Amino acid sequence: MLMTRGLRRAAVPRLARRYMCATAARRTTTSGLVAPGAGARFHDYDAAVTACVERRALKQGRQVHAHMVTARYRPPVYLATRLVIMYARCGALDDARNVLDGMPERNVVSWTAMISGYSQTGQHAEALELFIRMLRAGCKPNEFTFATVLTSCSGPQSIHQVKQVHSLIAKTNFESHMFVGSSLLDMYAKAGNIQEARRVFDMLPERDTVSCTAIISGYAQLGLDDEALDLFRQLYSTGMQCNYVTFTTLLTSLSGLASLDYGRQVHGLILRKELPFFVVLQNSLIDMYSKCGKLLYSRRVFDHMPQRSAISWNAMLMGYGRHGIGHEVVQLFRSMTEEVKPDSVTLLAVLSGCSHGGLVDEGLDIFDLIVKEQNAVLSIGHYGCVIDLLGRSGRLQKALDLIRDMPFEPTPAIWGSLLGACRVHINVSVGEVVAQKLLDMEPGNAGNYVILSNIYAAAGMWKDVFRVRNLMLEKTVTKEPGQSWIILDKVIHTFRSSDRFHPRKKDIDAKIKEIYVDIKAAGFVPDLSCVLHDVDDEQKERMLLGHSEKLAVTFGLMNTPPGLTIRVMKNLRICVDCHNFAKFVSKVYRREISLRDKNRFHLLTDGACTCGDYW
């Protein structure tokens, strides 16, 4: 009876009503006497709102709120805060904000709940703005506020924002609070300052799985895979507890390193832990095996998954594409459409897979089909893939037309893709137009000069090769330092161009000279257009021999038994001369060579490569 006093039954949702009754029963049995009044109504509303918060029941929550308004009930701070939380958790941020703005006084909980609502829906500017309003209103943030607001320090100004929030935190004791510290170090790492992230981590009085995972993830996100792996080993040996997020993070770094042995070991650890099924973790395993060159293992993981997300399919499609297995890309894509809806990444994976797999027309057909049937929103990346497909098939003019007609300003990557096609199809006229665009856009990028020089050299236009070299000398050109690595017995051996400091430099030099004689006898001709320095031909040959991937292949040949595949990784795209070198080594020494460059795998067997000399 009491519970419906002043509350029309029909207006109160069933869920809320049930909680109201439960509260009434409790109160009746404990006190034995329940008097009607404002106190009773508070508990009814409180229980009802709590039920809605727990169940994310927005509709019922709105009804309870409407009931308060109709009954002219003015909720106290606590209850109004619960309403803010209810709306914020249900994603109804405008309603949450209305309640917050209408509160005669607000506490740290109501401010924080609202900030959290904005953070979790990606409205970071609003979150930060509200945080500032909170400070101006004289409300002191607590550990929850700091942990929340830090997650909104993103975007181009993130490092300054993190530093500002950090200076506020430093005035409190919250810097060593586990959640605040984890959030702080995570944001420093995301903003690119791994040193500061590490400093915060090292200062934490206690560490848990999340804080350890956050710092490892920080190294992984910045591509510092070696450091991520080292830190994991160190923390693991001192008793760090791992969960599925830790393993997912670690697998990302092992993928980057292409460290198959560690990858398998971690997989074994995961199996022994008997963790429940997590899609994200399995997706990481698919990606790790594919980037380690073991597609069959990826497929095995993929096939055994009880559930798959679009990301699982995309990871598998990318894997086939990366290995140049075009027909599997197309076949898997067809199966995918029966199970889940392809997304924009799927289209990228299929287009790039068809391009790398040599299935030009199939790729163009799928592109037309998806664009027509699904009204897909196309990004510049999709256009890049189609331009790549047209370029691969030699339809350079069509590719040029598409660049002119597409609704995006062409980026250097787009022109670069076309320039690569001009090199493969030795098209000087289009190549010159494209190169001019590129040289205007990024005059300091050495790679563009090299490819233009390759084109002239392939066409026998030696005067122009000379002209490009002089052009390059006039500018200050830079090149990301190339490095290659090979993993033998879990030890990573890294080589830089003309590595002078490798402990086995003498042995490697002797072996590479021996290889050079052998492959030259089999018909290898060095491609001097890959060197643009103003030196004589003999010196050019010496410089080419210093390329990091040649050193790594040579080191592999020296240190692995006959018959074993040599697996080498490179951080940039492989150069024409090194590709040719590897082809001859595979033939003369009867060795399969797997070369993973920035974009894809080259599997070289008996003088031929799976990329079909287009990459």
Interacting residues with DNA (CB under 7 A)? 50, 53, 78, 81, 85, 108-109, 112-113, 116, 119-120, 142-145, 147-148, 151, 177-179, 182-183, 186, 208-211, 213-214, 217, 220-221, 243-246, 248-249, 252, 255, 278-281, 283-284, 287, 291, 309-312, 314-315, 318, 322, 343-346, 348-349, 352
Pairing of strands 593-596, 566-570: parallel
Choice between 332 and 452, CB closer to DNA: 332
Distance, in Å, from the CA atom of 226 to the CA atom of 240, rounded to the nearest integer, reads 19
- How long a stretch of residues is the chain? 615
Query: Minimum CB separation from DNA for residue 79, in Å?
Result: 10
- Report whether 377 contacts 344 (CB < 8 A): yes
Query: Minimum CB separation from DNA for residue 476, in Å?
Result: 30
- Report whether 289 contacts 301 (CB < 8 A): yes
Choice between 142 and 559, CB closer to DNA: 142
Query: Minimum CB separation from DNA for residue 126, in Å?
Result: 15
Q: Which residues, listed in sequence order, are joined to residue 593 by a DSSP beta bridge?
A: 566, 604
Distance, in Å, from the CA atom of 383 to the CA atom of 376, rounded to the nearest integer, reads 12
Q: Which residues, listed in sequence order, are joined to residue 602 by a DSSP beta bridge?
A: 595
Choice between 38 and 377, CB closer to DNA: 377
Q: Which long-range contacts (CB under 8 A, 24 or more apart) does 586-591 make?
A: 587/522, 588/515, 588/518, 588/519, 588/522, 589/515, 589/518, 589/557, 590/562, 591/557, 591/562, 591/563, 591/564, 591/565, 591/566
Distance, in Å, from the CA atom of 416 to the CA atom of 447, rounded to the nearest integer, reads 9
- Report whether 108 contacts 93 (CB < 8 A): no
User: Which H, E and C letters describe 365-426, residue by residue?
Assistant: HHHHHHHHHHCCCCCHHHHHHHHHHHHHCCCHHHHHHHHHHCCCCCCHHHHHHHHHHHHHCC
At 565, the amino acid letter reads T
Query: Minimum CB separation from DNA for residue 552, in Å?
Result: 21
Query: Minimum CB separation from DNA for residue 534, in Å?
Result: 36
Choice between 213 and 453, CB closer to DNA: 213
Choice between 21 and 245, CB closer to DNA: 245
Query: Minimum CB separation from DNA for residue 533, in Å?
Result: 32
Query: Minimum CB separation from DNA for residue 432, in Å?
Result: 29
Distance of CA 418 to the CA centre of its chain: 26
Query: Minimum CB separation from DNA for residue 213, in Å?
Result: 4
DSSP string, 276-312: PP-HHHHHHHHHHHHHTT-HHHHHHHHHT-SS--HHH
HSE at residue 253, side-chain half, CA atoms within 13 A, is: 27
Rg (CA), the chain: 31
Query: Minimum CB separation from DNA for residue 276, in Å?
Result: 13
Distance, in Å, from the CA atom of 2 to the CA atom of 15, rounded to the nearest integer, reads 17
Query: Minimum CB separation from DNA for residue 129, in Å?
Result: 18
User: Which H, E and C letters describe 372-388, residue by residue?
Assistant: HHHCCCCCHHHHHHHHH
- In order of 1, 20, 23, 81, the CA distances from 17 in angstroms are 12, 5, 10, 21
DSSP state of 3: G
Query: Minimum CB separation from DNA for residue 415, in Å?
Result: 18
Sign, CA dihedral 315-316-317-322, equals: positive
Distance, in Å, from the CA atom of 127 to the CA atom of 565, rounded to the nearest integer, reads 53
Cβ neighbours around 538 below 10 Å, total: 8
Query: Minimum CB separation from DNA for residue 75, in Å?
Result: 13
Choice between 524 and 601, CB closer to DNA: 601
Choice between 112 and 483, CB closer to DNA: 112
In the numeric block, the tokens 């935190």 are attached to: 169
Token pair belonging to 404:
């002119």
Neighbouring residues of 429: CB distance < 8 A, sequence distance ≥ 6? none
- Report whether 447 contacts 455 (CB < 8 A): no
Distance, in Å, from the CA atom of 359 to the CA atom of 366, rounded to the nearest integer, reads 11
Query: Minimum CB separation from DNA for residue 525, in Å?
Result: 34
Token pair belonging to 128:
């930060």
Give the three-state DSSP class for 603. strand
Query: Minimum CB separation from DNA for residue 506, in Å?
Result: 38
Distance, in Å, from the CA atom of 348 to the CA atom of 147, rounded to the nearest integer, reads 36
Nearest CA to 566 out of 613, 602, 516 is that of: 602
Query: Minimum CB separation from DNA for residue 178, in Å?
Result: 4
